[in-house]
Structure 1
Amino acid sequence: MTYTSIWIAFAFVLIALLLSLWQRLGLEKEIAIGTVRSTLQLLVIGYVLQFVFHADSLLFILLIIAMMIAVASWNAASKGKKLRGIFWRIAISLSITELVTMGLLVTLGLVTPTPQYLIPMSGMIIGSSMIVCSLFLSHMNREVETSRGEIETLLCLGATPRQAVQAVLKRAVKASMIPTFDTMKTIGLVQLPGMMTGMIIAGASPVEAVRYQILIMLSFSSSAAVSAVLISMLSYRLWFTRDAMLHH
């Protein structure tokens, strides 16, 4: 694909802008900023990855993964702005999820430990886990507000914060994991995932592309569960004061 093709593809953005103007949605600024940012970010990371792939240095690989975790944590933390320290808890959750998932993939010999495999697969795992953490925070905020009376009653009866919020915590964890497993149910029938599609377009055998996609989707099930449980364990106390009362 040439740069001319990319310029032509901006016609799709123009369609979105025209529809926003026509329906008076007020999304023109968001569409423009999103388009410019995504284009520049992808171009920059393309050149960075090209350098890292040629360098084949473990330090560069770790720096790229650390950057991914930092950005993902910052993005997910925006769903819990009122929760002090939520960024670091998300970062810890994503780091452990990445370590466990990629560690197993490499240890079991399912992935070759080279930049060409480690960085793209880490990006997909971290991105999927970021969405899980974001969904958890959104659902947890909503569940706590909805069940405030129930939680405060349990606290008054002598329950610990963990005991009082346990039912709410379970619902939030479950809700954050559902989209991942719903996607797994329809993959290949409703949508052809990005990694598989990219490999096919690049000339790989569809069967080989499917094998890698199956590997990724199966690892997503583990990463979703690990990240959801970790963020729930690390963050539930943030909804309470030091005196074990709910924040208002």
Structure 2
Amino acid sequence: MSDTVIRIGPALAVAVVLSAIAATAIAYLGRTGHHRAVAWASVRAAVQLGLLALVLGVLVQHLWASAGFVAIMALVAAWTSAGRVLDRRPTVGEAATMLLPVAAASIVVVAILVAAGVLPSTGLAVIPSAGIMIGGAMNTTSLAGRRAFDELSARRGEVEAAMSLGISDYHSRMEVCRSAAATALVPALDQTRTVGLVTIPGAFVGMVLGGASPADAAVMQLFVLFSILAVSSCALVLTTELVGRATLPRAAEARHV
């Protein structure tokens, strides 16, 4: 089956290394300022996936261990989004605040699906499902937060003008940042709109190659896409609320710039 998808061997290992080097070199030559981040992300991905491959067999055998791993995923995702949104190293409290948009909806959805019997109560089902949803929510949270703060900074005069007319701080800020933050949902929307036309998702291909019918694979892929869209929508709304209410420190700083 592995040969049907991609040939595993020394040539693939070389291709993986060359891809990481090429990504770093292009980022450097293009003066993006992200070449170190690209290199470090590549190294981290290799190490983390290697460790996951070693421990996954143990984790999936115990539901409590799988739940603990999901909690770790949520914490890392919240920390990552907090750093992106605030554009600095976050505090523990700030990362904890970001757990709301990053992980709350995903954990609730997974818990409901397990309780309803739709999702098997096994690590092999819970970990990937939660990971996919938390990853989607993390991306949306990071994009929404950054866009909202950037818009508030660029249009702070409009916020102050609205407040001078008697409009509350919250409504003045939301009027400026809501539409900008909403663009964070575009990747999830485009992924859903173009599935089967532009992209053939890995879950769909994997299920078909594993012996499932195309119809069953399509239903499973729709579940993945719609779940990502749902948790991403929640992440967008919650992140925008956090920014609008000046809950995060950077929001308060932006208000007084």
- Give the TM-score range, shorter chain: 0.7 to 0.9
Aligned equivalent of 1:9: 15
Helix, strand or coil at the partner of 2:60 = helix
How many residues of Structure 1 are paired with residues of Structure 2 in the alignment? 243
- Tell me which of 179, 182, 197 is aligned to 1:174: 182
- Tell me which of 156, 161, 168 is aligned to 1:160: 168
CA distance in 1, matches of 2:227, 2:221: 10
Q: Unaligned regions of 5+ residues in structure 1, if any?
A: none
TM-score (norm 2): 0.81
- Tell me which of 27, 34, 40 is aligned to 2:41: 34
CA RMSD of aligned residues (A): 2.8
Greater mean deviation of Cα atoms: 67-76 or 85-94: 85-94
TM-score (norm 1): 0.84
CA distance in 2, matches of 1:158, 1:15: 55
- Tell me which of 66, 86, 93 is aligned to 2:71: 66
CA distance in 1, matches of 2:152, 2:34: 31
Greater mean deviation of Cα atoms: 119-128 or 153-162: 153-162
CA distance in 1, matches of 2:158, 2:28: 46
- Tell me which of 149, 152, 159 is aligned to 1:151: 159
CA distance in 2, matches of 1:136, 1:66: 23
Shift, 1:60, TM fit: 0.9
Greater mean deviation of Cα atoms: 165-174 or 135-144: 165-174
What is the percent sequence identity of the aligned residues?
A: 26
Shift, 1:131, TM fit: 0.6
C-alpha distance after superposition, 1:21-58 (max 9, x if no partner):
9956586644443332211110101122111113x23x
8 Å contact 1:20–1:27 — kept in the other structure? no
Aligned equivalent of 2:231: 223
Q: Which runs of 4+ in 1 moved over 6 A?
A: none
- After TM superposition, the structure 1 = structure 2 runs for residues 13-162 of structure 1, keeping only pairs within 5 Å, are 13=19, 16=22, 20=26, 23=29, 25=31, 29-54=36-61, 56-57=62-63, 59-79=64-84, 80-81=86-87, 85-162=93-170
Shift, 1:100, TM fit: 2.5
Greater mean deviation of Cα atoms: 157-166 or 104-113: 104-113
Q: Unaligned regions of 5+ residues in structure 2, if any?
A: 3-7
CA distance in 1, matches of 2:73, 2:126: 12
Helix, strand or coil at the partner of 2:102 = helix
